[in-house]
Amino acid sequence: MDVQEVLKLADDLVFINTGKHLDNLQEVILRGTLQGQKYSKIADESHCSEGHIKDIASALWKLLSEVLGEEVNKSNFRVRLEQVQLSNLWNFNKDFVHIGNVNFCENNLHSSKVPNSSTDEEPLNKGNTEPQLRQFLAEMPKSGIFYDRTSELTTLKQWILHENTRLLAILGIVGIGKTALAVHLVEQIKHEFDFIIWRSLATSPPLSILQTNIIQFFCRGGAPVPAPNADGVPAFGRGGAPVPAPSPEEEGATTGGLPLLNYLQKYRCLLILDDVQMVNSTGQLAGNYQPGYEDYGRLFRQVGELSHNSCLVLLSSETPREIAALEGKNQPIRSLQLNGLGAEAGEILREKGLTEDAKFSELIEQYRGNPLWLKIVATMIQDLFNGSLSEFLSDDPLFLGDLESLLHQPFNRLSESEKQVMSWVASETAPVSLSKVPENLQLSRSQFLQVMQSLGRRSLVEKIQEGDRTFFTLEPVLKEYVKTNYSRPNIEKEARSPF
């Protein structure tokens, strides 16, 4: 890359991050850096102090570091930009460019027009006879071996393609295969959509940042950049000049300050959000958002209620409140509770080198057919028991090994009352009913029922139906984990402590 090409790429990166292009002094600093000049030389030629040049340069390196997701400084600036140039992912006939952590349009970074679902319609495929699939799947895991989820895939495709489900949650405990199922779903139905976008919420991004990033994806040649949201924050406004406040008509077009909804209405989109539970609070009952994250609930609710042909898929170990409240057989809002595998899980054990097929069903039942749990325990059997499944199964109690650290994540999210109830259920030898609140829990009946509902929404209790009566228990792995980490005396002691 020559100097001009590097400057052009840097200018594009700065614009998409701030809404402004490089100013003259910033460009002079970058040009001087590329030419090997010292800050003192740049300062002399710019007729300003060396300290001022250093301050401007420091802010510029910080900005570029944030954009690229790695440190950028005076000594590595050219190398970093050349790496970006070499790793560009040109999608959609080069309309869309993905660079590092930034996604932007090559040909239309300057538009500020807001799309409207009923006006200003722009065809996606002008002059083309074949539809162009636009997909941002950088955060989607690679497709691995897919174990039998045929019925689940059929159900999901029916809901999305034939019943116009707008909001869909795939739910289940850690390791059950939610993400793997969604990956294969995308592969099978992606050609039914104009846009496919996969984003992870593992880092708990605020909705404003998530919207900005997703809308950057939609910004392709000629696609508009959205107006400010309801709080007056520009879509690309980190340090950028403020965009004029929208008129009442324009404000209505942003559907309540959520400009992402305009794109879901204008185009047919499949948007997948993984690790949705990470925007919820820890230490509270399931479904409570972190402070400042309540807008996620508003987004989910409006996606389900507004008219459009897109589908938002949520992958979560906790049922979002909006799903629980709004889903129904005749509603465009559905959820799929993912359970463990059956006999087909034996393939996992064979892949790990286990050979005692007659014992597979016992191991699968103990670990409830959870694909990840089975992979972990099969590796443990190879490491500690030389692959002898019989020797492993002869041990009592159930051995968790590396599974224990995996389960810390969902259990660390529990409230104290949930820990107490989990400890009580784990201590019982038979499934429990909800007919009476145990005296030692010190919970009102209303609190007790709320806690049980919350644990169900976290996929941490098993429900057993016997005639017209309902009982609850814990999977063997979870029961052993609770006995080890949340013994009832310790929980009760913690509950009494004022600290």
Q: What is the CATH number of domain 3-87?
A: 1.10.10
Residue type, 140: M
Note the pLDDT of residue 292: 92
Q: What is the CATH number of domain 407-496?
A: 1.10.10.10
| pLDDT beneath 50, residues of the chain | 87-131, 220-223, 225-254, 488-499
pLDDT in tens, 230-242: 443 333 333 333 3
Give every strand in the sheet of 269-274, ordered side by side: 134-136, 195-200, 269-274, 311-316, 167-171, 333-337
pLDDT in tens, 95-129: 334 444 444 444 333 333 334 433 333 444 443 43
Note the pLDDT of residue 214: 87
* Whether the domain at 3-87 and the domain at 407-496 fall into the same CATH topology: yes
Output the average pLDDT for the chain.
79
How far apart, in whole angstroms, are the C-alpha atoms of residue 280 and residue 171?
15
Contact 63, 107 (CB under 8 A): no
What residue spans define the domains of the chain?
Answer: 3-87, 104-337, 343-395, 407-496
Contact 133, 190 (CB under 8 A): yes
Note the pLDDT of residue 157: 95
Annotation: CATH topology of 104-337: Rossmann fold (3.40.50)
Nearest-Å Rg of the Cα atoms of the chain is 27
Structure tokens at 89: 């992912």
Note the pLDDT of residue 256: 56
